[in-house]
A and B are shown apart, each in its own frame.
Chain A
Amino acid sequence: MEPTVANEEPTDHILLAAIARKESWALSEFYDRHAGLLNALAYRVLNQSQEAEDVVQEAFLLIWHKAASYDPRLGLPRTWAITLTRNKAIDRLRARQRRNAIMVEELEDAPPAPELNTVAPEDALDQQETAVLVRSALAELPQEQRRPIELAFFKGLTHLEIAESLREPLGTIKARIRRGMLKLREPLLGLRAS
Chain B
Amino acid sequence: MIDELLQEQAALYALDLLVESEKREFEQRLHHDEALRQLVSELQLGRDGLALQLPVRPPSRALKHRILETISQEARPTKLIPFPTWLPWAIAACLALCAVIFYGQWQTVQTEVACLRTQYSPDQWQAVSLRTASDQSSEATATVLWNHAMVEGKLTVTKLPPHAAGQDYQLWVICSVTKHPVNAGIVRLNAQGQVQMSFRPDAKIGRAAQFCISLEKAGGDLTPHGPIVLAGVVL
Contacts and interface: CB of A to CB of B under 8 A. Distances in A.
B222 to A, nearest CB: 92
Interface stretch (B70-78, B124-132, B135-143): B70-78
Interface string B24-44: 000100100010011011111
Contact of A78 (B15, B48, B53): B48
Interface in A163-194: 174-175, 177-178, 180-182, 184-185, 188-189
A40 B56 CA distance: 6
27 contacts: A24-B71, A31-B67, A32-B64, A35-B63, A37-B51, A37-B54, A40-B54, A43-B57, A44-B51, A52-B57, A53-B59, A57-B66, A78-B48, A115-B41, A115-B44, A116-B37, A118-B34, A127-B52, A138-B53, A150-B50, A153-B50, A159-B17, A178-B8, A184-B49, A185-B43, A185-B46, A188-B45
Given A56-B59, A75-B44, A116-B30, A181 B15 contact: yes
Contacts, number: 164
A168 B63 CA distance: 42
A27 B56 CA distance: 19
A119 B42 contact: yes
- Determine chain B's interface SS by DSSP, over half rule: helix
Interface in B56-114: 56-60, 63-64, 66-68, 70-72, 75
B75 A79 contact: no
Interface in A18-67: 22, 24, 27-28, 31-32, 35-41, 43-44, 52-53, 56-57, 60-61, 64
Contact of B64 (A28, A184, A189): A28
Interface of B: 4, 7-8, 11-17, 19-20, 23, 27, 30, 34, 37-38, 40-60, 63-64, 66-68, 70-72, 75
